[in-house]
Amino acid sequence: MDSLHQVMDITNESIGVTTGRAFCGVVGHRDRHEYTVIGRKVNMAARLMVNYPGTLSCDDDTYRSGKSKLKKEDFMVLPFIKLKGVADPGTVREYNNHHDREEEEEYDYPILGRGKEIEEMKMLLHAIKCDDTRVSGSRRVVVIEGEGGVGKTRLLEAFMDIAEEEDFKVDYVEADMAHAHTPYHVVKTLIENLLELEACRTASEKENTLMEHITDQKLREKMFLLNDLLGTHIPPNADFARMDLDKVTTQFHALLFEIVHQFVVSQPCLFTVDNAQFIDQESWDFIEDLSADSHAILVLSLRPFSSSNPPCEAAIRLTGHETTKKVKLGGLEASYMSDLACQFMDVMYIPNELDGILREKSHGIASWCEQLIKDMLTSNVIQVVNESQAFLNKESSLDLLSFGGSTTTAISLCQNRKKINFFFLLFGESLKVVFTDL
């Protein structure tokens, strides 16, 4: 859209993106035929453009397709508009990766209800840093396991924050379904992060950066083994021609191990892999090797493996190992739902009715709570309003609840259902409030 703006005659632009089946080909009479694309989703894309002008909008299938590398937080749910000829448009979102987020006052909300897990992680990291093997033992692999949306990624983020506070270098990789069978995909990202190769645009830039990081002559001689992984063109040594595939693989693993080892002895590192159920088999093999390094700490978060996505042997051995610490993550206690809702909406208060609904319907699963709120906002069951609007009704009584265990929040008004129920919202300059008419 920025580029379009620069074209002088274009003043308004809209982009609608949908995902689904479409027919594409040459259509029409021989004299007038033209190449075209037709289908339900094509019509919907056109409707999105008309109904959400000046916006890059997309349908729910596009948002959920998983193929996109766009960040989910750059998508905002758009208000529901009836689209002509589209029976159920689902949730429509706007993509905007340079909205005013930086200018907004960002507030890091505290993680809710995971005090025990956080405390244990703090102790483990601290013990590792102080080399206190009585606490840390050989327990250097932590596996967070839980059902979809229960809060694994959020807990992983909290662990990474703690690690950074303790001066650990944090190496984070998000495995994804699209690369679950791409050999060494996760290892590649781990190594690139560790050696800061992401910024290198050419093979020779990568080679130079590698040389800066790896000073040991013995390792340097074998660096050609990284060529396939990193796309470098380091000339192989004379032994290479005589090596069979097994030997190449063994030496490649040994080299990767050594590189990581050199790093972790000089600076404590926390390696984290989110969505570890999608780690490719070759990466599991390497991660298993790495777990034997007493200096590396690995935290993996995963959904339980399913029969359609069974774990490989290395994954079974590592996750089931007696020294692996398993964190089985269950849903949040119902009492956290109102605080969670306040965080999702950046508000200070929610009414009791909403709290009741979220407690009952979300079963403690954070993402269900999030989805319920989004749906209610989209369908205008609840609304965000400002403070003055919230206090229009002076007869309303306040019922204070606690929020996040720290600041005051969650007020609920609604003794009488007919009266205004509101959420008191905190964000930006002013206080905002949510009305609801459930």
- The mark string for 369-398 relative to ligand ATP (x by CB under 6 A, - otherwise) is -x----------------------------
Report the C-alpha gap between 335 and 350 in whole angstroms.
13
Residue 90 interacts with ligand ATP (CB under 6 A): yes or no: no
- Contact partner at residue 146 from Mg ion, ligand ATP, none, CB < 5 to 8 Å by partner kind: ligand ATP
Minimum separation from the CB atom of position 433 to Mg ion (A): 31
CA 243 to chain centre: 41
Helical H runs in 296-365? 313-320, 337-345, 352-362
Count residues contacting ligand ATP (CB under 6 A)? 19
**Which contiguous run of DSSP H or E holds residue 301?**
strand 296-302
Region 279-308 residues binding ligand ATP, contact defined as CB under 6 A: 303
Per CB under 5 A, the segment of 12-20, 150-158, 212-220, 387-395 that binds Mg ion is: 150-158
Rounded to a whole number of angstroms, the minimum distance from the CB of residue 152 to Mg ion is: 5
Distance CA(42)–CA(49), nearest Å, equals: 11
Beta bridge partner(s), residue 93: 58, 77
Binding track, positions 308-347, relative to ligand ATP; x by CB under 6 A? ------------------------x-------x--x----
> Could you give the CA distance from residue 383 to residue 278 in angstroms, rounded to a whole number?
38
CA angle, 50 then 52 then 53, to 5°: 70
Q: What is the closest distance, in whole angstroms, from the C-beta atom of residue 174 to Mg ion in the complex?
A: 8
Q: Which of 86, 318, 366, 376 binds ligand ATP (CB under 6 A)?
A: 366
Provide the sign of the torsion angle of the four alpha carbons 160, 164, 166, 171, taken in this order: positive
- Tell whether residue 153 is a contact of Mg ion (CB under 5 A): yes
**Candidate ranges 81-89, 151-159, 199-207, 376-384; the one touching Mg ion (CB under 5 A):** 151-159
Q: Which is nearer to Mg ion, 153 or 378 (CB)?
A: 153
- Packing angle between helix 245-266 and helix 281-291, nearest 10 degrees? 50
Distance (Å, whole) CA 71 – CA 96? 10
Angle CA 408–413–417, to nearest 5? 155
Q: How far is CA 67 from CA 70, 93, 153, 188, 372, in A?
A: 9, 16, 19, 19, 25
Partner that binds at residue 150, options Mg ion, ligand ATP, none, CB closer than 5 to 8 Å by kind? ligand ATP
Residues 97-156 that bind ligand ATP (CB under 6 A): 111-114, 146, 148-154
The residue sitting closest to ligand ATP, measured at its beta carbon, is 151
Nearer CB in complex with Mg ion: 187/366: 366
Q: Confirm or reject binding of residue 335 to Mg ion (CB under 5 A).
A: no
Is residue 51 within 8 A of residue 15, CB to CB? The reply is no
Q: How far is the CB of 425 from Mg ion (least distance, A)?
A: 26
Which residues fall within 8 angstroms of residue 99, CB to CB, at 6 or more apart? 74, 76
Nearer to Mg ion, 25 or 66 (CB): 66
Q: Cβ of residue 185: shortest distance to ligand ATP, in angstroms?
A: 18
What's the CA gap between 15 and 57, in Å, rounded? 6
Q: 410 is in the binding site of which of ligand ATP, Mg ion, none (Cβ under 5 to 8 A by kind)? A: none
Q: How many residues bind Mg ion (CB under 5 A)?
A: 2
Distance CA 350, CA 340 (A): 10
Q: Footprint of ligand ATP on this chain (CB under 6 A)?
A: 111-114, 146, 148-154, 303, 332, 340, 343, 366-367, 370
Q: Footprint of Mg ion on this chain (CB under 5 A)?
A: 152-153
